[in-house]
Structure 1
Amino acid sequence: MKRLALALAVACATPLLTAAISPGRTSPDLERLGWRKVEWQGIPPANFTATPSGGVRVQGQGQAGFVYRPLQGAASCLAWRWRVDAGPPATDLTRKGGDDRAISLTVGFADYGPQAGFGARAQMAVAQAVAGDHRLPRSTLSYVWGGTGREGAGQFFTSPYGPAAISRTRIQRPASSPQGRWVEEKVDLGADWRSAFGGATVPALQEVAISTDVDDTNSPIDARVEDIRLVPC
């Protein structure tokens, strides 16, 4: 979870500070769907391509990276389906180093939560200065396929790479989940944001990202995410 936590809240809004990431070469099929690829310097980039039905497939071994695109509207419910055909073993996503996961879906919001104080906002200001014209999300929620499943005991927890006031993570499917089959998901973004950050007013949606991180365990990765959509709760 590491690097996406400090690229969606510090670059798509916080993986390592933006200086550690750079625009990747987006495949034409994904670019046509509105996705943009981002890589981490010094880590071989995973291969992101479009699926025949307009989703995203990530493949590789011992690699990392993510793609993102706009997601606009009010924070209703978000639905998608995903599958993992190959991925890393269970790792502790609260511990720096060795915290690999097969895939995650991260939602970026347009404003901070009420607990974002001076320190978090200052960190974001530095990241925004590096990011240039692309306005970074001010808070993010990540839903992960990977980890032990004990992190947060089904609740949102803080990544060791990002401030709690900006970036929170939840295990949606642990690494032990059956592979090779599609799984349908539906989450209430409004309720989840309030649970993670507090406050009553949920910011507007801004972006969605799909990431993988299997470099620490040098694991193979083959995973897909399809049919990402906002639906009534």
Structure 2
Amino acid sequence: MKQIGWAAALLIAPVCSAAEGVIEVGNFRQYSQMPEPPWQLVRFDDDIPPTRYALQQYEGVHAVEARAEASMALLARPLAINLQQTPVLCWRWWVDAPIEQADMTRKSGDDYAARVYVTFDLPDSALSLGTRIKLGLARAVHSDDLPAAAINYVWDNRHPVGTTQPNAYTDRAQMLVLQSGTDNSGRWIEQRRNLLTDLQQLFEADTGVTRQLAVASDTDNTGATARARFADLHLVPADQPCQFPPQS
């Protein structure tokens, strides 16, 4: 996925809260179609076909399905949370298979069967002078909403779980492999990540302001075909478990 303009369509809006400290940001039972506000389809290049997103109930889970055919588009929504109170992002995802031709170290291989990522603004103290200059120039050219950092949680094809790597297009987006290969493909997998901890480790920033949450399946660089599903995205305090509804 080309990273230029990756937050140009960012919206600013509050998220919806659930009981007992749980903040639901991707409960797809409540929608009638996709995209539906606050979710939106974000394209970066009109010459690249968009990944298609549709609501689906699959194996008892209400989800959004992404189908990519040499395509790229995000399904994105605003994210405005207090990282001190609810830093843990939880979700379920599923891929039919990883993208065989992908290679996260090269621009030509920067595709993933599934990715979940969050964008942030960072305090100036967390940015070098050079980074602040480059970010200012990028915002002047593309958008004032261009955030300072993005964490991409990805389902890769070859790198070990836990691998971190700057994105092939920009070091302001860091890739973190949570699933790799085919061992867990073809079934629902639950994930839990502490956004604040990951932000501190990947960007050496004590804190940050969340801006956007997105899911995607992208195959525009490799020309491959992929299908993924995402469900039950929510945030919880660090000392609480994820609250996944039972599969019906």
Q: TM-score range by the shorter chain?
A: 0.7 to 0.9
Cα contact 2:124–2:132 (8 A) shared by 1:
no
Kindly provide the amino acid, as one letter, of the partner of residue 56 in structure 1.
Answer: V
Q: Is the 8 Å Cα contact of residues 90 and 175 (structure 1) preserved in structure 2?
A: no
Q: State the TM-score, normalized to the length of structure 2.
A: 0.74
- The secondary structure found in structure 2 opposite 1:32 is coil
**Structure of higher CA gyration radius:** 2
Q: Partner of 1:192: helix, strand, or coil?
A: helix
Aligned length in residues: 211
Contact 2:63/2:229 (8 A) holds in 1 = yes
Partner of 1:93: 104
Which residues of structure 1 form unaligned runs of 5+?
Answer: 14-26
1:219 to 218, 224, 229: 224
Unaligned residue ranges in structure 2 (runs of 5+)? 11-30, 239-248
> Which range moves more in the overlay, 180-189 or 120-129?
120-129
Structure 1 match to 2:34? 30
Identity of aligned residues (%): 27
Query: Where do 1:2-13 residues align within 5 Å?
Result: 2-3=1-2, 5-8=3-6, 11=8
Who is 1:61 aligned against?
A: 69
RMSD between aligned residues: 2.7
* 1:74 and 2:85 aligned: no
Instruction: Note the C-alpha offset of 1:106.
Output: 0.8
Look up the SS of the partner of 2:34 in the other structure.
helix
TM-score normalised by length of structure 1:
0.78
- Which string of whole-angstrom CA distances, capped at 9 and with x for unpartnered residues, describes residues 183-218 of structure 1? 00000111111100113x211222101122213333
Contact 1:146 / 1:171 at 8 angstroms: preserved in 2?
A: yes
1:178 shift after superposition: 2.9
Q: Which residue of 2 aligns with 1:158?
A: 166
Q: Which residue of 2 aligns with 1:121?
A: 132
CA contact 2:121–2:149 (8 Å) conserved in 1: yes
Instruction: Say whether 1:140 aligns with 2:157.
Output: no
Q: Judge conservation of contact 1:114–1:197 (CA < 8 Å) in 2.
A: no
